[in-house]
Amino acid sequence: MVAKVGVIVYSTWGHQNTLSDAVFKGVQKSGAEAIMYQFEETLPQEVLTKMYAAPKPAYPVITPDLLAELDGFIFCFPTRYGRAPAQVSTFFDRTGGLWASGKLIGKFGGIATSAGGQHGGHETTVLTTLPFFAHHGVIFVPIGYAKSEISNEESIVGGSPWGASVVAGGKGTLPVLDSDKVVAEYQGENFGTIVNTFLKGKNAA
């Protein structure tokens, strides 16, 4: 049995679209079935235009029912004041039925993010999202320091033991680095491998 892993993205300037593509590639390398979704936008187009937001991808919009069908999911979204943006929080608020029925208990979750600077919320965004996982019984999968790119001290890079990330710049003008993509791809592959291994053991028991 192959694990079904959702890569679920929300992006303002496109950084998370790029990072989620690398995560998706990694999940595929693990042998798991990778499925790309996006969080529903809540801002009107007029506001998005003024923000110089990137075009939305053509991925299907995630719903609570679709989330429950997955064995695991990696959320890819930028930070907003050290936590998930409103679009993601709005989706979380719609999962009350899943919580009441325990539909997400025992599933696996990971997080990739981005922030304007090195201290803009790369780690706090993960930390402030963990209560969602805990209340639903979702098993959080970090990446540790498995990739040397995370410990790079010679340049400004994203990534932490919590998951892949990007330093986007205050106006979203900094690019996603190749090293960020390496960490993101590793995160996807490692996550898919863990979920696949769990399902094989569960089905063999």
Tell me 55's DSSP state: P
Res 177: pLDDT:
94
Question: Is residue 42 within 8 Å of 48, Cβ to Cβ?
Answer: no
User: To the nearest whole number, what is the mean pLDDT of the chain?
Assistant: 95
Domains defined for the chain, CATH in brackets = 4-204 (3.40.50.360)
pLDDT digits (tens, 9 = 90+) for 80-98: 999 999 999 999 999 999 9
Query: Where would I find the beta strands (DSSP E) of 10-88?
Result: 33-38, 72-76
Mean pLDDT on 111-124? 93
> HSE-up of 173 (CA within 13 Å, CB side)?
2
Q: Between the CA of residue 152 and those of 20, 111, 170, 180, 183, what are the distances in Å? A: 21, 20, 22, 11, 12
Question: Does residue 153 have a pLDDT over 90?
Answer: no
Res 170: pLDDT:
85
pLDDT digits (tens, 9 = 90+) for 164-201: 999 999 888 899 999 999 999 999 999 999 999 999 99
Tell me 57's DSSP state: P
Please tell me the distance from the alpha carbon of residue 161 to that of residue 190, in angstroms, as a whole number.
Answer: 13
Six-digit token pair at 188? 């996807």
Give the confidence band of 28 by pLDDT, cuts at 50, 70, 90: very high
